[in-house]
Structure 1
Amino acid sequence: MAVSGSTVTTSRSKKDDSSTPRLRVEAGEEDATPKLEVKEHDFFWTYTEEPHRTRRMAIIKAHPEVTKLCGPEPLTKYVVLFVVSLQILCAYLLRDTPFFSWKFFLTAYIIGATANQNLFLAIHEISHNLAFKSAAANRIIAVFANLPIGIPYSASFRPYHLTHHKSLGVDGLDTDLPTAFEAVFLDSIAGKAFFCTFQILFYALRPMMVYKVPFTGIHFFNIAVQVLFDIALVKFASGKALGYLIFSSFLAGSLHPCAGHFIAEHYVFERQPLKAKDPASMLPVPETFSYYGPLNWFTYNVGLHNEHHDFPAVPWTRLPQLNQIAKEFYDELPRHESWIYVIWQFVMDKEVGMTCRVKRKEGGRKVGAWTQQEIQA
């Protein structure tokens, strides 16, 4: 999968084993001396603001009707209820099935991982208050959606994710960015394969290593409800039933087709010059990438990621409509054609790695948890 529509103008010689990217020298410019370079194990540093606010303002100016797309989607709660029920049913039916069996593994990979990835993204959707008008109702349904995941995380996810939106690419705030440790020790084929296999653990643990959010009542509620559910599942079904749910969560964030969205959303799949600018146009390098394929059907249209970052208050069911209304803003943006190939290319392509992310030193802000000012964020 190539990223189409990109303004990338950097390349590395296929015969050159050096890990230092080179700028392409066009015909007739053999004597040209590149003035920009990328340092190994360094990210793409930029001093421009994140692009989504600027594009949002431009789209609203050109198509003011897009603001009518904002607001909760009633369908979300029914999808959550169905998927939670499906996972509990599968867990109960597998209560006596050996963990080391094809029946257990295939059910967990095909049904369980897909369902739990769907619930991850339901919680993502709900974190923007897009299931109900009431903030409290959104917090409660997020805890309910968390049940088949097996480990409480919905309360902590929200402030970290909203900070990701408010502070895209900001070093020390955006916990979606790999740390410097990951950049150095995982920037190899073996390291990237390890990262893709265990990326759910990185996304779970990395935020707490960057900064801690306030521990509030909703966190206690999330933990208490999850622990009571896990205990009840073990008591009335078995430990294997709970193991199925937790294993499904692991697979959902591992080498699974739907897990490709984690990498596809913000990793830049071509080496770029210093300061994250194209040397020909001096335009900022794109840092968010969309995917318009069929896996969006299982993942709340999270593939429409430029659209989501441009308008976080537009729910999943209306993101395609947003794309159609503002087609001239989205048609030429780089995109991915396959999440499966995203994982393959990320691991195998030496041009792509942990440092292929746009970073900025300043901007943005932290978004806390369960404060009156941020309930409506």
Structure 2
Amino acid sequence: MHMAEGATTAFSVTDVTTLKERMQAIDATSTEQQRKAAADAAKVEKDFYWAYTEEPHQTRRQAILKAHPEISKLNGHEPLTKYVVLLVLAIQFTCAYLLRHTPVLSWRFFLTAYIIGATANQNIFLAIHEMSHNLGFKSPLANRLFSIVANLPIGLPYSAAFRGYHIEHHKFLGVDGIDTDLPTKFEAMLLHNILGKAFFCTFQILFYAIRPVMVKAQPFTRIHYLNLLTQLSFDYLLIHYLTPNALYYLILSSFLAGSLHPVAGHFIAEHYVFDTSNINPAETYSYYGPLNIVTYNVGYHNEHHDFPFVAWTRLPELRRVAREFYEPLPRHGSWTRVIWEFIWSGDVGMYSRVKRKEKKERMGEMAKGL
């Protein structure tokens, strides 16, 4: 993992009640060694990195557009997306058909689900992510409806609920109680050790499915009901005309896509703090490695948060044009290594996320403390 100094914009502390004292202590430090000691003392207290400024992406987007106004031309949908999705659907349905009589507990069944199925379904997850930003079609409705079609090999209804939560993740990045990508305090307390982190990495797809409902339930809309009805109908037909094993293959593929699998590393790599030596940690990390080929360039994550309406095929061009903004930022070199370091490092864990409270609450706390 490459780390660059001075790559973040948010001031963070770990103890809200002592904000004034910590700010004074940090201001008084005159050497890197003293600043690192202050950060290490904060980490011992086991709390999230609390930020008292807005998320950095809007500010950087404005700066980039001022320097490179031509980047606005990169916005827009990518017609290629639907063809990639149809290809991946064909691969998954073919595998489900071929495995319809294969014992679920066999190595052939598991390895196919791990090597092909998990990679394919992670690709589908991220295709739905693209369409949640209306980047598959010009029409927003076409994006919603095609997301329901793309959802079929996942085995469970997902696309309609994902869109609402993901838009909030962009609009309220790091805001406690709104951004459901953040682990809760209970999760962090329970899973902060090695065994807990290993459990989280193994079952993280379940955390991302259950946590949003527990933190901030969404109202059901017609699209939610259509997603549910379409998926359940497809699952019934799959069992009726093939076998239950065909559906088990698809569901196992979805589980493994969010478990101990290389492509699942992006879930942790995107926003968990690995720059632990910095008292002002980055809250978004990019990855420019080969796994972007099968994941719609989701590794270009700083770029994506800066410009969420630039489709996956044009994110590399965005980075090339605005290289002076992105080159200094911290990034990961391997998603597999991210999972390994997350589990085994004593400095990185469930608390390693930048959180902020809603703007009014932040302003009130700072007025009281300062």
Q: Distance in 1 between matches of 2:219 and 2:248?
A: 30
In the TM superposition, what are the counterparts of 1:105-124 in structure 2 within 5 Å? 105-124=110-129
Residue from 52, 57, 61 that aligns with 1:47: 52
Output the amino acid matched with 1:166: K
Counterpart of 2:304? 308
Say whether the 8 Å CA contact 2:51–2:355 is kept in structure 1: yes
Counterpart of 2:224? 219
Residue from 335, 339, 344 that aligns with 1:343: 339
Q: Distance in 1 between matches of 2:87 and 2:5?
A: 39
Counterpart of 1:327? 323
In the TM superposition, what are the counterparts of 1:116-265 in structure 2 within 5 Å? 116-265=121-270
Output the amino acid matched with 1:294: P
Output the amino acid matched with 1:191: G
* Secondary structure in 1 matching 2:114: helix
Output the amino acid matched with 1:357: R
Q: Distance in 1 between matches of 2:284 and 2:155?
A: 30
* Secondary structure in 2 matching 1:37: helix
User: In the TM superposition, what is the alpha-carbon distance from 1:187 to its structure 2 partner?
Assistant: 0.2
User: In the TM superposition, what is the alpha-carbon distance from 1:236 to its structure 2 partner?
Assistant: 1.1
* Secondary structure in 1 matching 2:152: helix
* Secondary structure in 1 matching 2:358: coil
Output the amino acid matched with 1:246: I
Q: Distance in 1 between matches of 2:282 and 2:33?
A: 26
Residue from 85, 90, 99 that aligns with 2:90: 85
Say whether the 8 Å CA contact 2:275–2:282 is kept in structure 1: no
User: In the TM superposition, what is the alpha-carbon distance from 1:271 to its structure 2 partner?
Assistant: 3.2
Say whether the 8 Å CA contact 1:71–1:315 is kept in structure 2: yes
Counterpart of 2:102? 97
TM-superposition CA deviations, 1:44-77 (whole Å, max 9, x none): 0010100000000001000000000001100000
Say whether the 8 Å CA contact 1:38–1:272 is kept in structure 2: no
| Alignment pair present for 1:63 and 2:68 | yes
Distance change >3 Å, CA 340–CA 237, structure 1 → 2 = same
Q: TM-score, normalised by structure 1?
A: 0.86
User: In the TM superposition, what is the alpha-carbon distance from 1:34 to its structure 2 partner?
Assistant: 4.3
TM-superposition CA deviations, 1:10-50 (whole Å, max 9, x none): xxxxxxxxxxxxx9x988978x9849734533100010100
Q: Distance in 2 between matches of 1:81 and 1:226?
A: 17
Q: Distance in 2 between matches of 1:196 and 1:303?
A: 18
User: In the TM superposition, what is the alpha-carbon distance from 1:363 to its structure 2 partner?
Assistant: 3.9
Distance change >3 Å, CA 221–CA 29, structure 1 → 2 = closer
TM-superposition CA deviations, 1:82-103 (whole Å, max 9, x none): 1011101100110000011111
Q: Distance in 1 between matches of 2:32 and 2:242?
A: 72
Counterpart of 2:358? 362
Q: How many residues align?
A: 342
Q: CA RMSD in A?
A: 2.4
Runs (4 or more) in structure 1 with deviation over 3 Å come to 25-30, 32-36, 270-273
Distance change >3 Å, CA 333–CA 226, structure 1 → 2 = same
| Alignment pair present for 1:269 and 2:268 | no
Say whether the 8 Å CA contact 1:44–1:272 is kept in structure 2: no
TM-superposition CA deviations, 1:256-299 (whole Å, max 9, x none): 000000000000014367xxxx3xxxxx4211000000000000
Distance change >3 Å, CA 130–CA 42, structure 1 → 2 = same
| Alignment pair present for 1:292 and 2:284 | no
Percent of pairs with identical residues? 63
Counterpart of 2:3? 4
Output the amino acid matched with 1:303: G
Q: Distance in 2 between matches of 1:247 and 1:28?
A: 48
TM-superposition CA deviations, 1:97-118 (whole Å, max 9, x none): 0011111011000000000000
Residue from 22, 37, 42 that aligns with 1:37: 42
Unaligned runs of 5+ in 1: 9-22, 279-283, 365-377
Between Structure 1 and Structure 2, which shows a larger proportion of helix residues? Answer: 2
Q: Distance in 2 between matches of 1:285 and 1:328?
A: 20
Output the amino acid matched with 1:5: A
User: In the TM superposition, what is the alpha-carbon distance from 1:214 to its structure 2 partner?
Assistant: 1.4
